[in-house]
């Protein structure tokens, strides 16, 4: 097992009606003027937003609201938020929503105390030294941003989708009431589960084979959400299974499943170019490229793919051929994606094949013009990225 530092400082407040504690929590973390940040309609429609505002009022905490964050959150909205926070002297940001709202909140939180352009952080041109406190009332288990140190923002100028990771932006607290996820459409539920599994798998597929405890946690997370998703797709108000998925979403991306491993993250990088160009849901984009990535790289560690096949996908071990077992696991994963309504190719994702120019453009952006690689299990160069996009073009 590799050396590691495990840091997960977010206070998790999980359970029925947990959002009722929000006002007191903001007070506990010294928020006196809050930006309540939210998305399109879901939090308003469900009455959650109104409830949160009431909780703040009951604690005598002043607030301003800023909604309209879209999936694949935009830099222009972040700029608006920074301006609003400065004008209103906001000292605490509360994200009511999913990964997009939380990531937008984190970007605003970096931007308020920074004199330069916040996008510099995302382009690797500067490192944040300060950040307003951020917290969340989570409404969709998926991105894991409630406990991660990352924020992913899309700059409309050039369709650039970039992530920035810094512990300063980790949520002070995350309120998670699985009841709040009952209203999720089937498609968003499936996208969320795909992302949760992928966060675990990005850490699982590595060259590090001596991490039994971490593997056991990862495989449990994967098996749990893989089973629970079928229940909630049929019974959207099944609390027990919504709760499993919600907690798994945080465990999958708070690094618990990465202790002692290097992680790969190539599928995520390849997907970010798809959602930057075609504005697709992140989870669906991951499903569209994963199988092609897996077939491209599995020979780097056949045993690991075979272990995944048997322990996660329930494939019978073919003792004569680890390779056949590994490939059967990849096929089983793709059958699973189809069964929950996810695509397993780019044509299935966007309704048409991508052109050769689009493949080259995505690979070029993903490799920063050929100067950067991605992935660890197999280090991918621009040409490898193009090859994987071509394989996934179905
Ligand atoms: O905008 P509203 O109306 O709220 O609708 C949202 C949105 O359309 C809807 N939704 C959320 N909660 C709901 C609900 N609808 C009904 N009932 C509810 N309770 O779901 C849609 C998707 O929301 P979004 O926040 O975009 O989803 P998700 O949590 O999957 O976040 C995706 C973003 O996170 C980034 C992705 O790239 C993408 O931009 N990621 C962030 C990470 C991080 N910060 O650590 C890691 C991930 O790998 C990922 O890259
Ligand atoms: Zn993800």
CATH number for the domain that contains residue 74: 3.40.50.1970
Neighbours of 16 (CB within 10 A): 11
Q: How far apart are CA 286 and CA 276, in angstroms?
A: 13
The one-digit pLDDT tens for each residue of the chain (394 residues) are 899 999 999 999 999 999 999 999 999 999 999 999 999 999 999 999 999 999 999 999 999 999 999 999 999 999 999 999 999 999 999 999 999 999 999 999 999 999 999 999 999 999 999 999 999 999 999 999 999 999 999 999 999 999 999 999 999 999 999 999 999 999 999 999 999 999 999 999 999 878 899 999 999 999 999 999 999 999 999 999 999 999 999 999 999 999 999 999 999 999 999 999 999 999 999 999 999 999 999 999 999 999 999 999 999 999 999 999 999 999 999 999 999 999 999 999 999 999 999 999 999 999 999 999 999 999 999 999 999 999 999 9
User: Of 157, 180, 203, which residue sits at a domain end?
Assistant: 180
Residues 6+ apart with CB under 8 A from 364: 370, 382
CA of 286 to the centre of ligand 2 (A): 8
Number of domains into which the chain is organized: 2
User: Of 154, 180, 206, which residue sits at a domain end?
Assistant: 180
Q: Is the CB of 71 under 6 A from ligand 1?
A: yes
CA of 209 to the centre of ligand 1 (A): 33
Residues 264 and 145 in one domain: no
Q: How far apart are CA 267 and CA 264, in angstroms?
A: 8
User: Between β-strands 160-165 and 134-138, what pairing exists: parallel, antiparallel or unpaired?
Assistant: unpaired
CA of 274 to the centre of ligand 2 (A): 13
Residues 167 and 190 in one domain: no
Ligand 1 atom at shortest distance from the alpha carbon of 100: 25
Prediction pTM value? 0.98
Q: Read off the DSSP letter of residue 319.
A: T
Ligand 1 atom at shortest distance from the alpha carbon of 148: 45
Residue in 39, 187, 263, 281 to alter for ligand 1 test, most ligand atoms within 8 A of Cβ: 39
Residue 90, CB half-sphere, CA atoms under 13 Å: how many?
31
Residues 244 and 385 in one domain: yes
Q: How far apart are CA 262 and CA 284, in angstroms?
A: 25
Tell whether the torsion through CA atoms of 224, 225, 230 and 231 is positive or negative.
positive
Nearest ligand by distance to the CA of 163: 1
Q: Is the CB of 100 under 6 A from ligand 1?
A: yes
Neighbours of 295 (CB within 10 A): 18
Q: Is the CB of 183 under 6 A from ligand 1?
A: yes
Tokens of 387: 């090859």
Residues 120 and 209 in one domain: no
User: Of 123, 148, 180, which residue sits at a domain end?
Assistant: 180
CA of 245 to the centre of ligand 1 (A): 15
Ligand 1 atom at shortest distance from the alpha carbon of 181: 19
> Is 6 contained in some domain?
no
Tokens of 63: 């607030």
CA of 71 to the centre of ligand 1 (A): 6
Residues 250 and 288 in one domain: yes
Residues 140 and 245 in one domain: no
Residues 295 and 239 in one domain: yes
Residue 256, CB half-sphere, CA atoms under 13 Å: how many?
19
> Is 210 contained in some domain?
yes
Q: Is the CB of 135 under 6 A from ligand 1?
A: no
Q: How far apart are CA 172 and CA 136, in angstroms?
A: 8
Instruction: Domain of residue 63: give its range.
Output: 11-180
């Amino acid at each position: 097992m590799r050396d590691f530092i495990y840091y997960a400082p977010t206070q998790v407040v999980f359970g029925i009606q947990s959002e009722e504690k929000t006002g007191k929590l903001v007070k506990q973390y010294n928020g006196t003027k809050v930006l309540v940040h939210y998305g399109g309609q879901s939090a308003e429609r469900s009455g959650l937003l109104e409830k949160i505002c009431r909780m703040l009022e009951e604690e005598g905490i002043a607030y301003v609201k800023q909604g309209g964050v879209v999936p694949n959150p935009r830099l222009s909205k972040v700029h608006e938020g920074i301006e609003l926070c400065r004008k209103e002297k906001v000292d605490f940001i509360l994200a009511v929503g999913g990964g997009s709202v939380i990531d937008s909140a984190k970007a605003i939180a970096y931007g308020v105390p920074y004199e330069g352009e916040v996008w510099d952080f995302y382009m690797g041109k500067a490192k944040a030294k300060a950040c307003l406190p951020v917290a969340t009332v989570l409404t969709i288990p998926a991105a894991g941003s409630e406990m991660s140190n990352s924020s992913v923002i899309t700059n409309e100028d050039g369709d650039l989708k970039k992530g920035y990771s810094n512990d300063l932006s980790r949520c002070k607290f995350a309120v998670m009431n699985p009841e709040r996820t009952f209203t999720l459409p089937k498609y968003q539920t499936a996208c969320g589960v795909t992302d949760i599994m992928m966060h675990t798998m990005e850490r699982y597929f590595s060259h590090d084979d001596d991490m039994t405890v971490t593997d056991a946690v990862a495989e449990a997370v994967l098996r749990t959400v893989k089973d629970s998703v079928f229940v909630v797709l049929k019974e959207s108000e099944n609390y027990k299974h919504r709760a499993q998925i919600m907690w798994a979403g945080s465990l999958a991306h708070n690094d618990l499943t990465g202790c002692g491993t290097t992680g790969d993250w190539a599928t995520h990088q390849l997907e970010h170019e798809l959602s930057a160009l075609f504005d697709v849901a992140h989870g669906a984009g991951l499903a569209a490229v994963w199988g092609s990535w897996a077939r491209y790289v599995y020979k780097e560690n056949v045993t690991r793919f075979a272990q995944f096949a048997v322990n996660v996908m329930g494939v019978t071990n073919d003792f004569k051929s680890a390779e056949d077992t590994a490939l059967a696991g990849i096929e089983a994963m793709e059958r699973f994606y189809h069964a929950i309504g996810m695509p397993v190719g780019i044509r299935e994702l966007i309704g048409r094949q991508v052109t050769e120019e689009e493949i080259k453009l995505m690979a070029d952006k993903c490799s920063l013009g050929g100067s950067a690689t991605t992935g660890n299990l197999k280090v991918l160069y621009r040409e490898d990225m193009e090859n994987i996009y071509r394989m996934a073009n179905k």
